[in-house]
A and B are shown apart, each in its own frame.
Chain A
């Protein structure tokens, strides 16, 4: 018995040692390369070769993994179509940011450091969260890397001047989406009593703040609440919502949570109160709550070939939250192609190429041309699209 246990212990130790050796073998080149790569990374010329590397930062695991999955799926979809149609290929160096995990932005920072030290990484797609962007800014900037986020909407990220020339995003900031929603409530629906519930994440509180201010300025009575993104039980919160409320605005990021909230509203006998989400909830699961549900999003065309192709490969699910990440990947890949036109490229050249991006609306999944203004925001996104559910999916409505 004792000898068996000793054998097991010895085997485990041997396995551990083997893993350590393997891990060490993989880790050593990166560590060795990191200082050199960072020291001269901004202007250092990298031989482009046939396969180019893009850093991809997304919450692959952790509480927001369902969002990360959508972003990674859309990025991978771009990669697969690109690799099928181009002689050169792209590959991702994926870093898990664990958005919303108790460790905060530490994982995102680790990922940024890995990308900064990756000598072949020329540009970055992501990360997802605004807080993460604040956390990784110095690391990526010091390494000369530009990044294009498909979901961080905090307005100040691009307007405070800290990241100019480095950060770009394929989503409009809160300052654009919020007023679109609020003005629809004020001018079209003409409602006077609204309830706003944020999900305590930066994305959500930012949008909720903008909508609350705009509604209050127009004389709408607004009550405000918050709920954890981890929560699935909304019954106590729903109990607080007065029955004469006309609309509940929930700018959340997880469509299934919006669906659960809507269904629990119905179960509480409050199903007649209108619901409005934001681009984070633009998904058939939220739309399935009923025809009293509104949303705001890019003017995406659900009948486009790109979306149809994506849905075909993903069980019919559009995973629309991830769609801007497709655009972000397209921007970075196009910029790398441009910078690599002479066979080599530096991160500085890729940054300049991203800054000069011009993707026409016809080639853009977002339904609008992709160009960036001086701050790194979409120069073409002046207004969000408005949608109403037909009971199954969202259909565009005039704003």
Chain B
């Protein structure tokens, strides 16, 4: 057994999985409350990466930052998360809310439309060229190792930040008043409304949180992998969706675990399977089909109870 390769693949898989988990959380939160597959979510993640880039350059750029690296990073996250949060709320308000009582296919089509709209708007506004984060100048390119386990600062930062955000979200949903309202709305929107919960507000908050997490994921992705472009949300969004379905869409722990499973599967497939790098998506989506066949509601999902 080549342990060095195994550890490298594991670190890579956990990093990637953390990003997928954050994206999956957005899918899960929205689906949990609205039963809507928000296919524009991957593009919100892309917008987050661009907002982070603009914040970085507004703060002097990676070579000559106005503040220390840590402060710049923090501000990049704040800008991307706030910007994406607001964008998510706007998407819900204008593209989904008017269709809330329409047949379920209508908001789905609307979501696809928003996705293409965001993608092409990004192309129009940001241009077709790749944007370079030059993270290596800001954070440093140094690689640390513990025996055969090699990792870089951005990788460590990504995994730690993703875990912190997921724990914070779990606590928020479990313990806060708004979190309780979210759970009530998810369980029965009509009953929640009759109990005095402002459902519109709850849905807006849900979109804000889900989109903010996608924004954070966008910045993290760029910090680790260096570059962003207008089409980056497409595959990432699909993988995040896959993670959400594998974990059990609607389940927060499911999204986390699903993300890590997809990330690790992708990484191990690349490393160990024949032509794994070329066909990594084949393996990941085969895993999705397998999980759905065995557990249609995902690993942590609950089958809907139907009154007969």
Dominant SS among interface residues on chain B: helix
Cβ-defined contact, A65 with B230, below 8 A? yes
Interface size on B, residues (CB 8 A): 44
Restricting to A212-265, which residues have a CB under 8 Å from any CB of B? 225-228, 230-240, 254, 256-257, 259-260, 263-264
Cβ-defined contact, A69 with B278, below 8 A? no
Restricting to A269-328, which residues have a CB under 8 Å from any CB of B? 269, 285
Chain B residues within 8 Å of A269, by CB: 143, 145, 150
Restricting to B83-115, which residues have a CB under 8 Å from any CB of A? none
A183 on the interface (CB 8 Å rule)?
no
Interface size on A, residues (CB 8 A): 37
Chain A residues within 8 Å of B120, by CB: 61
Cβ-defined contact, A267 with B143, below 8 A? yes
A315 to chain B, nearest CB (A): 10
CA distance A269 to B91 in the complex (A): 43
Q: Using an 8 Å CB-CB cutoff, how does the interface string of A40-76 with B read, 1 for contact, 0 for none?
A: 0000000000000000000011110110110000000
Cβ-defined contact, A66 with B129, below 8 A? yes
B227 on the interface (CB 8 Å rule)?
yes
Point out which of A236, A259, A269 has the most chain B C-beta atoms below 10 A from its C-beta.
A236
CA distance A268 to B270 in the complex (A): 16
CA distance A197 to B229 in the complex (A): 22
Question: What number of residue pairs across chains A and B have CB atoms under 8 A from each other?
Answer: 114
Q: Name the segment of B11-19, B164-172, B196-204, B291-299 touching the other chain.
A: B11-19
Q: Name the segment of B31-39, B177-185, B218-226 touching the other chain.
A: B218-226
CA distance A254 to B132 in the complex (A): 13
B27 on the interface (CB 8 Å rule)?
no
Cβ-defined contact, A235 with B8, below 8 A? yes
A321 to chain B, nearest CB (A): 11
CA distance A60 to B224 in the complex (A): 28
Q: Using an 8 Å CB-CB cutoff, how does the interface string of A318-349 with B read, 1 for contact, 0 for none?
A: 00000000000000000000000000000000
Closest partner residue, chain A, to B221 (CB atom): A232
**CB contact under 8 A between A68 and B227, given known A263-B136, A268-B150:** no
Which listed residue (B132, B231, B235) contacts A65, Cβ 8 A? B231
- 5 other contacts beyond A65-B128, A239-B9, A239-B271, with CB at 8 A cut-off? A234-B225, A236-B266, A236-B267, A239-B8, A266-B136
Q: List 11 A-B contacts (CB under 8 A).
A: A61-B120, A226-B275, A227-B278, A230-B232, A232-B225, A236-B268, A259-B227, A264-B225, A266-B141, A268-B150, A268-B152
CB within 8 Å of B: which residues of A?
A: 60-63, 65-66, 68-69, 197, 200, 225-228, 230-240, 254, 256-257, 259-260, 263-264, 266-269, 285
